[in-house]
Each structure stands twice: as C-alpha cells, then as structure tokens.
C-alpha cells in the first residue's frame, strides 16, 4: 500500500486529500478520500478506481478525480 497526501489549497487546513494505491496483481486499485489532517479519519470518500495498469497514471487519475470532486462541491455551494 502506498499513500500520497495532497494539500487542498483554499480549503480548511484541517482537511487534506489522500490517494491510496493498493497493488492488485500487476495493477493498482486507487482509493481517493478527503481526510482530517490531525486524525487521518475519512471526512469524505470520493471514489475508488480499479485495475489501473500504470502507477503514475493511477496517481494522476486520483488527483484528477479529487480536483473534479472539489470543483463540483464548490459549484453546488454557489447555487
């Protein structure tokens, strides 16, 4: 298992993005969450991606899904 923590600029400093890579055979399953920075508890589960063949692409996709989730959350607050 491998974790990547992502700073969420413009959001609460108590929340960070987390992309977790779990090897699955030759591929990776990718869990994308927003977590509390102090406790590490999940604040919001974004999604899980399955069977990604390339590690770097899996991380890039995780960042992309995290960004889209935050953009959609910001849009829904405006309306």
- Parse the chain into domains and list their residue ranges: 2-78
Beta bridge pairs of residue 6: 17
Mean pLDDT, range 7-23, rounded to an integer:
92
Rounded Cα–Cα distance for residues 8 and 22 (Å): 22
* pTM (predicted TM-score): 0.90
Task: Tell me the CB-side half-sphere exposure of residue 12, using CA atoms within 13 A.
Answer: 8
Q: Which CATH number fits domain 2-78: 3.30.720, 1.10.287, 1.10.3470, 1.10.357?
A: 3.30.720
C-alpha 39, offset from chain centre:
16
Residue 78 has a pLDDT of: 62
Mark out the alpha helices in 1-79 (DSSP H runs).
55-78
| Residue 13: pLDDT over 60 | yes
Each residue's pLDDT tens digit, 20-78: 999 999 999 999 999 999 999 999 999 999 999 999 999 999 999 999 998 888 787 76
């Amino acid at each position: 298992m491998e974790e990547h923590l992502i700073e969420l600029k413009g959001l609460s400093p108590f929340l960070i993005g987390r992309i977790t890579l779990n090897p699955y055979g030759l591929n990776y399953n990718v869990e994308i969450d927003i977590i509390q920075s102090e406790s590490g508890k999940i604040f919001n589960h974004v999604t899980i991606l399955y069977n990604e063949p390339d590690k770097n692409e899996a991380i890039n996709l995780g960042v992309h899904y995290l960004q889209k989730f935050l953009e959609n959350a910001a849009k829904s607050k405006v309306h």
